[in-house]
Structure formats: structure tokens, C-alpha cells
Amino acid sequence: MFKYFLVISFLFFSCLHSEAKTENPPETEKDTLKILSWNIHMLPYFYVFTKTKKRKRAKLIIEEFKNRDYNIILIQEAFHRKIRNRIKRKLKKKYPYAYGPPNKQYFRIQTNSGLLVLSDRPLIEKSSVQFTESYSWDNRMARKGAQLVQGEFNGHIFQIINTHTEGTPVIINNSQFHEIYDGLIQPYEQKNIPQIIAGDFNCNMKNEDQFSQMLNLLHVTDTIPHQDIRYNEKNKILKEGIDHIFIRKNMSKVNVTKYRKLLIGFDWIQGRKKIFKKTVGYSDHYPVDMHLVFPKQ
């Protein structure tokens, strides 16, 4: 009789364990939304004097995009029309949906915002802003701003804001943060819909006052794992950057499982004399990525 009791007990607890496994299976690649943000430094065609090797770098960057498994790529400084079109054309099979750049201006000397979103799934272009204040002449030429797109992943709606702000002076950058919040974040905020804000913010974490002001103006919290962001895929120490990805969960249950600053490619040489102080991989910025896991429906 006791043997039968042990067998029944074993079968009972085995069923419970099996049910628990079914209810809480481990997260898989299919559960993860992967986002990359990168300022690729493709200046307009009239910046030829800077010798930034746009065509060569574009070819290498396209190959990197092909070989990586991101769902959505947020690009800044995609100003150069021919190279921007080449990126979209060469990646059309993997990323059939492309959005931007907003703030185009035809028949004027000013260029566009340089913002471009590539996606493996259809997105909705909700809105965009063009910053009303600028300081330097090159930023005025760029018509900088931010774009908001909305998508769905495994039954969950999410929003992404792609932006490129000016940086200095601080009062101008703070004004642009105001415009991002007032024009895109606050008007489209909804319960249970996370808002991802990404791009080149021209704001370094080492400048604690300025960084804190940015967080307050965008109404985001600093969720960046400082102990991890300084390392690339090969565990080499990287310097603090000005490119970030923030998330406003808005009461959703989405979780950030990975946040990294990357070094993609080797440093490129700008001729005998460097125009810029540094190059970083295939650009002059470190790309950043974030992995998000949504709860099962």
C-alpha cells in the first residue's frame, strides 16, 4: 500500500512541476525585441572636404546590419541622400520597412533631420518635431528634430522616438528636450504602452548636472547599467558616450534584459591629417543596443 502511495505522490508532484514549466517557460529569442541606435556620421554631399569615406564606411555598415539580428535600427546623421537610399535598398529584404527622414526641405539649401528608422515589421509614423531653436550654423542646416513611430511585438504595442539633439550650449539642448517631451512623449503617452527614447542626445553621463537635467526634462529615469555600458562585445573598456536609449514603461511589464554600448568595426583614417579628433569603429559614435522582453499574452 505504501508503494502505491509513493507512486501516486510522485506522479502528482511531477504533474505540478510540468504545469509550472508550462506556465513560466524560459525566455527565447522570439520573446525579445532588439533595438540598435547608431549615429553613422553620413554627412551631406557638400561636406566632401572632410574626407569621411562615406561610401566605404556605408558598405561596411550595411554588411554589419545584415549580419546582426536586430528587429529595429534607429539611425542618426543619415543626411547623404544617395547613401541613405543605398542603405534602404541593400537592406530591403531584411528590413522592408523604412521611415524618414522627417523635416525634409526641397529646393532649399537646408537638408533634412538625418533620422531614419529601419524595421523588420510595419510601424506607424505617428508624428515628428523640428527643433525651433538652434545655435551653430551646421545644426541650423540640418533641421534636427525627433520622430515617433509605433509598432506591435507579440501582441504588445510600443512606441519609439528617434532623435538627434544639438548639445551646446546647454540651454539650447534643454529647449530641444522640452520639445521632444511636449511634442511627442506627453501627447502620445498611454497606459501599458512603453515609450523608448533613443538617439544622439549630445549629453554625456560624466556631466552630472546636464545629464540630470536631461532626465528631468524627458521625464525618464536613468536605467542605464553603468557597470556594463563601458564594455563592448569583446569586454574592452569604452569611454562614456553621448548616445543613449531610455525607456518609459508607463505601467507596462516590459523588462530590459540587455543594454550595451558597442564598438562596431575598426577605426577609419581620414587622410594624412585628421579633421575630427577621434573615429570610433565605422563612425565617430558608439552604437547602443537594448533588448526588451514583453510578458506573454
* Every domain of the chain and the residues it spans: 29-293
Cβ-contact 97, 121 below 8 angstroms: yes
Where residue 18 falls among pLDDT bands split at 50, 70, 90? Answer: very low
- The model scores a pTM over 0.95: no
Question: What's residue 278's pLDDT?
Answer: 63
Q: Which residue has the higher pLDDT, 236 or 89?
A: 89
Domain at 29-293: CATH code: 3.60.10.10
Q: Summarize pLDDT for 72-83 with one digit per residue, the tens.
A: 999 999 998 999
Stretch among 17-21, 32-36, 136-140 having the lowest mean pLDDT: 17-21
Q: What mean pLDDT, rounded, does the chain reach?
A: 82
- Over residues 27-50, the mean pLDDT reads 79
Stretch among 131-140, 220-229, 280-289 having the lowest mean pLDDT: 220-229
Q: Which residue has the higher pLDDT, 205 or 118?
A: 118
Cβ-contact 3, 246 below 8 angstroms: no
Neighbour-count burial of 133, counting CB atoms closer than 10 A to its CB (0-12 exposed, 13-18 middle, 19+ buried): middle
- Over residues 184-192, the mean pLDDT reads 98
84-117 burial, b if ≥16 CB within 10 A, otherwise e? beebbebbeeebebbbbbbbeeeeeeebbbbbbb
Q: Which residue has the higher pLDDT, 15 or 248?
A: 248
Q: Which three cell numbers stand for residue 35?
A: 533595438
245-272 burial, b if ≥16 CB within 10 A, otherwise e? bbbbbbebebebeebbbbbbbeebeeee
Q: Summarize pLDDT for 152-174 with one digit per residue, the tens.
A: 999 999 999 999 998 778 899 99
